[in-house]
């Protein structure tokens, strides 16, 4: 099922512009995002192929089936609540049956978690980007040997340094396990003219090996030194390197260039959403209302342009988090939305829709 199918079959109950155009933070080049709610025909709803959500390829147009939409509202999902509270100038379609859904009926103490804690996650995300920009991983991937060290007296040297200083090649070396000691290996060097010991070297392949290579060592051979493989360090490095590569591949080019250009080394759009979400959360706690169109557009756009220092924004955001926590602590909002009332409303609207189709 596609969005065109929903429109062609007249299944859409609600449709509105979302994102920056709804928040009032849009710029001339901003994307046009759409979100909406649809209802499945009776036979498809009762059948085996329930469709909870339909989206386009770029995911900037997303439509939720009515049941899924109510489930999200009951969880105080910010996207669903914002959609229900869309500014009137953003609403493109509203079926009369959808009028029964009011955002005030779904605001509760759960919004502290869904709005404020999501904002905190965005702060962490911005920190992560800041770290990636200021401490990028080198383009060449390190090998296992970069995490191997050889004993030298009471200390240790990187294996590459140790080999170079002694004029050894990694291929003439052999490793053997040391009983009872994890990731410590006896290191042997074949210095015979004809390399008769045929040690296998330290690695099978420098580019692909995930572990050191063991060799069969003749009985009576004496190790030249001992080699320690920092396996945990290598594993952590591989994870960080993989995450960095994935970030490079998936990052939004426009947002990344904006980050580089304003020179503050944080994702300005992320930080904009931090303050937007925290502002909404405080309003929900103190007024019991949700205002999608933000009154502090100029301040939010200043953040987006990178006019503030990163540490300054994080400090202000953390202070605002404390204000939000205090506001919810004294709020008279219910602990959770009324699930029974929401279910009755869902059944009522669905029955009315299906009755009208007969």
Does position 107 have pLDDT exceeding 90, yes or no? yes
Q: What is the pLDDT of residue 255?
A: 47
pLDDT tens, residue by residue, 230-273: 999 999 889 888 877 776 676 555 544 444 444 455 678 888 99
pTM for the full model? 0.65
- Please give the Cα distance from 303 to 316 (Å, whole number): 12
Query: How many other CB atoms sit within 10 Å of the CB of residue 185?
Result: 24
**302 or 196: which carries more pLDDT confidence?**
302
Among the listed ranges 14-28, 117-131, 148-162, 320-334, which one has the minimum average pLDDT value?
A: 117-131
State residue 149's pLDDT score. Answer: 97
Query: What's the pLDDT at 243?
Result: 79
Band of the pLDDT at 137, cuts 50, 70, 90? low
More confident: 14 or 306? 14
| DSSP-assigned beta bridge partners for residue 245 | none
Kindly list the structural domains of the chain, giving each domain's residue range(s) and its CATH number in brackets, ordered by start: 1-102+337-357 (3.30.460), 107-136+252-334 (no CATH), 144-236 (no CATH)
Please tell me the predicted confidence (pLDDT) of residue 259: 45
What's the average model confidence in pLDDT over 216-232?
Answer: 93
**Would you list the DSSP string of 262-316?**
HSS-S-HHHHHHHHHHHHHHHHHHHHS----S-TTHHHHHHHHTT-S-HHHHHHH
For residues 201 and 173, the answer to whether their CB atoms sit within 8 Å is: yes
């Amino acid at each position: 099922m596609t969005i065109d199918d929903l429109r062609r079959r007249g299944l859409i109950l609600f449709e509105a512009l979302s994102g920056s155009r709804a928040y009032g933070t849009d710029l001339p080049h901003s994307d046009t995002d759409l979100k909406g709610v649809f209802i499945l025909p009776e036979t498809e709803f009762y059948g085996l192929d329930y469709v909870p959500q339909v989206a386009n390829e770029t995911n900037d147009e997303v439509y939720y089936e009515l049941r899924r939409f109510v489930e999200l509202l009951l969880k105080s999902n910010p996207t669903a609540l914002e959609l229900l509270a869309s500014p009137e100038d953003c609403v493109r379609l509203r079926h009369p049956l959808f009028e029964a859904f009011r955002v005030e009926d779904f605001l509760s103490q759960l919004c502290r978690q869904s709005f404020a804690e999501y904002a905190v996650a965005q702060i962490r995300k911005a920190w992560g980007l800041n770290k990636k920009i200021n401490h990028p991983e080198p383009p060449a991937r390190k090998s296992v040997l970069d995490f191997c060290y050889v004993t030298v007296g009471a200390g240790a040297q990187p294996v590459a340094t140790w080999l170079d200083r002694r004029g050894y090649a990694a291929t003439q070396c052999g490793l053997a396990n040391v009983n009872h000691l994890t990731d410590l290996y006896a290191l042997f060097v074949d210095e015979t003219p004809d390399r008769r010991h045929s040690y296998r070297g330290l690695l099978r392949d420098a580019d692909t090996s995930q572990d050191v290579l063991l060799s069969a060592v003749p009985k009576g051979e004496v190790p030249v030194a001992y080699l320690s493989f920092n396996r945990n360090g290598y594993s952590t490095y591989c994870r960080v390197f993989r995450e960095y590569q994935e970030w490079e591949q998936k990052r939004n080019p426009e947002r990344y260039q904006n980050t580089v250009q304003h020179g503050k080394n944080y994702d300005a759009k992320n930080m904009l959403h931090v303050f937007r979400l925290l502002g909404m959360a405080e309003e929900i706690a103190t007024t019991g209302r949700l205002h999608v169109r933000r009154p502090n557009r100029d301040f939010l756009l200043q953040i987006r342009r990178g006019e503030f220092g990163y540490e300054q924004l994080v400090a202000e955001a953390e202070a605002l988090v404390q204000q939000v926590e205090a506001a919810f602590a004294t709020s008279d909002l219910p602990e959770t939305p009324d699930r029974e009332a929401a279910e009755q409303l869902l059944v009522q609207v669905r029955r009315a829709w299906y009755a009208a189709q007969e």
